[in-house]
Structure 1
């Protein structure tokens, strides 16, 4: 049978998604453990998460440095020994620093869990941050930093965050090159002591788990050798009320200009967030979005443009990001703002809305496809203190949102007149 490839296949509507929810278990020392027992392969993923992101640091770069140097040597093993042992067992670890959280992930074969989780325990509990390893790390980070500071996209991101929150706010403060030289081993030890302990920890275990898996985790992390500490208190801070609406950083020797347009908005705690995600997807949240069609396909200003809702623990913001031809920045910004205005004033067609709804539900299904993906999705809300019903609420919001609600939400949260604009490069 021949297939006419000029005819688009029909949409298949998805009515519901049956989710596997994590089982919550409390370890002997009161650490909450979330167990996702699914999958067919004898592999495990263990995530340890701490409220220890850059939000909590008193000096720039300390949170990231601590997180990335945990495996650079412990009181029992050198960095080389850690790497060799993990390699021998076919396991690997990765650090997970962010603005709000920090932690470590272990990927391991199930049969080697007793050996590999012992290494993970040593890394988390007993890092020594050797001075020579620290100097090497700082030297490499300085070089990387200098390279990044030549990129218009990085400069735009830094300036945009500063515009949104203020240069002294934890979400808006940017490190400088000299800050690398101010990092001391004592800073790292102090930060680790304050934030990497049982009272500030959550654990996610996923894969083909069983009772022995949980027992192994409890034996290593459920004991009392790191419980005599308290959870970090709330850090008092305020967002800069004097917003720099438009910022331009001139760079003559570039072929592209980086653009950031956006504003503070809601995060995942707000009941409007799931439906605002639909609005964002229509505008710039997928390859067929309005911004991609106008700015990339019709005007040819860029290879790619996207919009995002970023949900932090203590704030949320909306951002449009792109790099355009240096001589097209002004025109691109005008067209971007025009697309936002149309979203506020004109009803979305039933055909476009149906397409976006199907895309979003399909994208959610992909994010739950497999134990590790499922764990990552749940951890993204558990860390924020949001209940598991969030995903069902999101699915319901996607299915029920109307064109009228889209206009209302766009006017409430995405008025282009209240957005800040950042341009790095040329702006003719």
Structure 2
């Protein structure tokens, strides 16, 4: 049979996504392993993820968790920093700290061939780090300089002030690091956190070409990990309605803008409709905000909106760097575009463009085994499973104009918004 290459293949949108069910094993110390086998890839990725944050009484030592994870590669009881770097480089292995508001941990990516060799050294990073004082002093100086530089960057400063306004300065997610914070903790604080707090409610996420003997090695390596299991309450967060912050910088030619408010979490039945609304408004390059504020008016090179990824305190935000004198006008236009979506039906051709874009984007998120485990981890930690993505696909394929207007009127209220302008 000869293919007719003059005719493009028929365009088809899938109606469902098939996901593998993760294999779940629970170690004797209560740590669960979630494993997605990928025998076609001779590589292995393992990530141990724990709950982030410090006890309330250590609020002034907010940098301790990130410093602890970033310093585990500075030396263990058996290898110094240079030896660790050489070892992992020799075996083509990547070790990365995973830092986030809600979860933190370490990941390792290596070849199947070298996995049994590198795993014991990786395991030592979890309990045998020594935190050399000399390296701590060096990292503190670097961090203080980094904080100072970021404060002068409009975008970084605007994001920090936005989080502070959204969550409050006493909330884990609303803290802003200052140069003085690097002097608020010592090496002993890192050691205490490392041994008593770091591995709180840990989980292991695993993918790759793993056979039973390798799984047994993993179980043996981690079932004696000292862990802390505790029932944690999710912190509540409510932004101050109609809260406006403006930080002037005379020498700036641009201003960084942040507009947003708290939104519903992924577990809410309206979440997928909210995602569609956001995509039309500011979630892709052909969105309403780009066409209006970038292409029609030329106020900015780029503007976008997005939904945050937190478990119980999800939020929505618009971000843009704009010509300084048009800052207020840009904010007006953002609200204008929201109002249009609330009051006017989206044209059919625009709906189909968004529908096709969102289906394509959803499918590209699962192009490899590593993508699969990453997506599983994000929804699992939000209290969901892979059915979340099937539900998302179904709503993308079926949403209508009334759905868009309804979700817009329900959740996007100007009086609830926080506005930040820096520049």
Question: With structure 1 as the length reference, what TM-score do the two structures score?
Answer: 0.92
SS at match of 2:237: coil
SS at match of 1:171: helix
SS at match of 1:96: strand
Whether the aligned pair in 2 keeps the contact of 1:55 and 1:170 (CA below 8 Å) is no
Q: Equivalent residue for 2:209?
A: 208
Whether the aligned pair in 2 keeps the contact of 1:163 and 1:243 (CA below 8 Å) is no
The Cα shift of 1:74 comes to 1.6
Change (3 A) 1:54 1:272: farther
Instruction: Find the aligned partners of 2:362 and 2:21 in 1 and give their Cα distance.
Output: 15
Q: Equivalent residue for 2:64?
A: 62
Change (3 A) 1:2 1:312: closer
Instruction: Find the aligned partners of 1:65 and 1:232 in 2 and give their Cα distance.
Output: 25
Whether 1:415 aligns to 2:398 is: no
Instruction: Find the aligned partners of 1:3 and 1:302 in 2 and give their Cα distance.
Output: 41
Instruction: Find the aligned partners of 2:9 and 2:330 in 1 and give their Cα distance.
Output: 33
Aligned pairs for 1:77-226 (under 5 A) are: 77-197=79-199, 200-223=201-224, 225-226=225-226
Whether the aligned pair in 1 keeps the contact of 2:239 and 2:262 (CA below 8 Å) is no
Deviation by residue 1:376-410 (Cα, 9 ceiling, x = unmatched): 11111122232232111211222222211111111
Q: Equivalent residue for 2:329?
A: 331
SS at match of 1:155: helix
Instruction: Find the aligned partners of 1:213 and 1:287 in 2 and give their Cα distance.
Output: 44
Whether the aligned pair in 2 keeps the contact of 1:163 and 1:244 (CA below 8 Å) is no
Q: Equivalent residue for 2:251?
A: 253
Aligned pairs for 1:311-322 (under 5 A) are: 311-322=309-320
Whether the aligned pair in 2 keeps the contact of 1:258 and 1:424 (CA below 8 Å) is yes
Aligned pairs for 1:277-288 (under 5 A) are: 277-288=275-286
SS at match of 2:299: coil
Say which is worse superposed, 397-406 or 103-112, in terms of deviation.
397-406
The Cα shift of 1:258 comes to 0.2
Q: Equivalent residue for 1:41?
A: 41
Change (3 A) 1:333 1:61: same
SS at match of 1:252: coil
Instruction: Find the aligned partners of 2:336 and 2:115 in 1 and give their Cα distance.
Output: 55
Instruction: Find the aligned partners of 2:9 and 2:248 in 1 and give their Cα distance.
Output: 48
Whether the aligned pair in 2 keeps the contact of 1:267 and 1:310 (CA below 8 Å) is no
Q: Equivalent residue for 1:29?
A: 29
SS at match of 2:136: helix
Q: Equivalent residue for 2:395?
A: 397
SS at match of 1:303: strand
Change (3 A) 1:414 1:20: same
Instruction: Find the aligned partners of 2:44 and 2:13 in 1 and give their Cα distance.
Output: 33
The Cα shift of 1:10 comes to 7.9
Whether the aligned pair in 2 keeps the contact of 1:31 and 1:201 (CA below 8 Å) is yes
Q: Which runs of 5+ in 1 are unaligned?
A: none
SS at match of 2:316: strand
Q: How many residues align?
A: 418
Whether the aligned pair in 2 keeps the contact of 1:52 and 1:195 (CA below 8 Å) is no
